[in-house]
């Protein structure tokens, strides 16, 4: 009988720290924040990603490896994805479970299909979510709200977990300058959009959100902080060198603001934010090659990507921003966020 090696996670693995933060936020979402997400949707998303990664790594290495990355992918997917018609308190609802499975599969499989320079090109959960929102659409799915409720104990605890978790997770990875570059650039650009008359509609607010409220609801959103601290900071898809990481953060902020500019709905704003990371990830290999510190040995020549990786990257790079821009003229999306034709029940 052949023995199968088993590889367990290292206590120093930063993915374990991130998992603790996301799980804490999931618990707060279920207990006090009114997330329209069931425990079953979370577990299925995690389970799908974990089973796929265990099967692929076993086939490739003949080793059973703890699927730390896959668990994060599934948990992050469920943290942001919502299926219309799911209500808070539907703990074991499988409503829209096919969308969670699809987004999870797309994300985890992209790690093994779309590779460039010896590593996967896209943040798995980010890519799965963006394609889900753009292809399936607002009549079936939506991203977690920018607004998590009035400032009360659960919201305060969530902000504390996010901020403390950011320092705990990002400091060892030397990612804090990158996220600071993103946040400062993004805040300035969103302020400019607000000052120029930017407004958006959301199911949780009566009437358009404009002016200082436009800036405040976007730039202080817990959802933006989660995206900033725990999604763009993925060390496997972010640039490897600190100077390149700062440019990476600024580039995501600039593209996010450009895609947000025409959006009249919260749905469009959230998809634009997520899409900005997807597009910029396509060019990380360029940053790694051409943005280096003096005295640092130049990188080795990149291996030629497979045709599947090349054409998939081209299709994503061109298709995601163009599809995101079209959301601005999608009247159905605007009607849903305005409450005229809302598939789900607005939060109170």
Domain ranges of the chain: 6-338
pLDDT at 183: 97
**Confidence grade of residue 3 (pLDDT, cut at 50, 70, 90):** confident
Return the higher-pLDDT residue of 136 and 302: 136
Q: Would the pTM count as exceeding 0.85?
A: yes
Supply 191's token pair. 């302020």
CB 204 within 8 A of CB 347: yes
CA–CA separation, 335 and 41 (whole Å): 27
Assigned CATH class of 6-338:
mainly alpha
Supply 262's token pair. 């025409």
N- to C-terminal Cα separation, the chain: 59
DSSP reduced 3-state for 143? strand
Q: What angle do CA 157, 86, 225 make, to 5 degrees?
A: 35
In tens, the pLDDT along 37-71 reads: 999 999 999 999 999 999 999 888 888 888 989 99
> Which of 212, 162, 159 shows the shortest CA–CA distance to 190?
212
Residue 201 has a CB neighbour count (10 Å cut-off) of 24
Please list, in sequence order, all residues whose beta carbon lies within 8 angstroms of the beta carbon of residue 13, skipping any fewer than 6 positions away: 68
Long-range contacts of 260-265 (CB under 8 A, 24+ apart): 260/190, 260/193, 260/218, 261/193, 261/198, 262/325, 262/328, 263/200, 263/327, 263/328, 264/199, 264/200, 264/201, 264/328, 264/334, 265/200, 265/201, 265/202, 265/327, 265/333, 265/334, 265/336, 265/337, 265/338
Evaluate if residue 141 carries a pLDDT over 50: yes
In tens, the pLDDT along 211-268 reads: 999 999 999 999 999 999 999 999 989 998 889 999 999 999 999 999 999 999 999 9
In tens, the pLDDT along 299-339 reads: 555 567 788 889 999 999 999 999 999 999 999 999 999 88
Q: Please, what is the average pLDDT of the chain?
A: 91
In tens, the pLDDT along 172-210 reads: 888 999 999 999 999 999 999 999 999 999 999 999 999
Evaluate if residue 6 carries a pLDDT over 90: no
């Amino acid at each position: 009988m052949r023995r199968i090696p088993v590889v367990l996670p290292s206590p120093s693995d930063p993915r374990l720290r991130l998992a603790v933060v996301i799980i804490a936020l999931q618990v707060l979402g279920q207990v006090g924040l009114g997330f329209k997400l069931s425990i079953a949707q979370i577990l299925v998303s995690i389970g799908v990603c974990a089973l796929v990664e265990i099967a692929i790594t076993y086939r490739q290495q003949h080793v059973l490896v703890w699927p730390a990355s896959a668990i994060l992918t599934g948990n992050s997917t469920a943290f942001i994805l919502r299926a219309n018609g799911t209500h808070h308190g539907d703990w074991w609802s499988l409503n829209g479970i096919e969308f969670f499975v699809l987004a999870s599969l797309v994300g985890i499989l992209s790690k093994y299909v779309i590779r460039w320079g010896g590593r996967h090109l896209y943040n798995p959960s980010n890519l799965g979510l963006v394609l889900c929102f753009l292809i399936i659409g607002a009549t079936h799915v939506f991203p977690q709200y920018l607004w998590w409720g009035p400032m009360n104990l659960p919201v305060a605890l969530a902000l504390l977990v996010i901020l403390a978790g950011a320092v705990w997770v990002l400091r060892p990875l030397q990612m804090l300058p990158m996220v600071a570059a993103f946040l400062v650039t993004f805040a300035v650009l969103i302020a400019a959009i607000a000052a120029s008359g930017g407004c958006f509609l959301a199911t949780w607010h009566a009437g358009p959100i404009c002016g200082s409220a436009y800036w405040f609801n976007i730039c202080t959103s817990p959802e933006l902080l989660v995206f900033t601290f725990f999604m763009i900071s993925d060390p496997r898809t972010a640039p490897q060198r600190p100077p390149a990481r700062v440019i990476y953060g600024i580039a995501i902020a600039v593209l996010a603001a450009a895609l947000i500019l025409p959006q009249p709905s919260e749905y469009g704003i959230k998809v634009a934010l997520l899409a900005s990371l997807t597009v910029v990830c396509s060019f990380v290999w360029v940053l790694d090659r051409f943005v280096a510190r003096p005295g640092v040995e130049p990188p080795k020549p990149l291996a030629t990507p497979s045709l599947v990786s090349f054409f998939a990257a081209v299709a994503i790079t061109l298709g995601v921003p163009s599809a995101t821009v079209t959301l601005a003229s999608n009247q159905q999306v605007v009607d849903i966020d305005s409450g005229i034709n809302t598939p789900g029940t607005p939060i109170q």
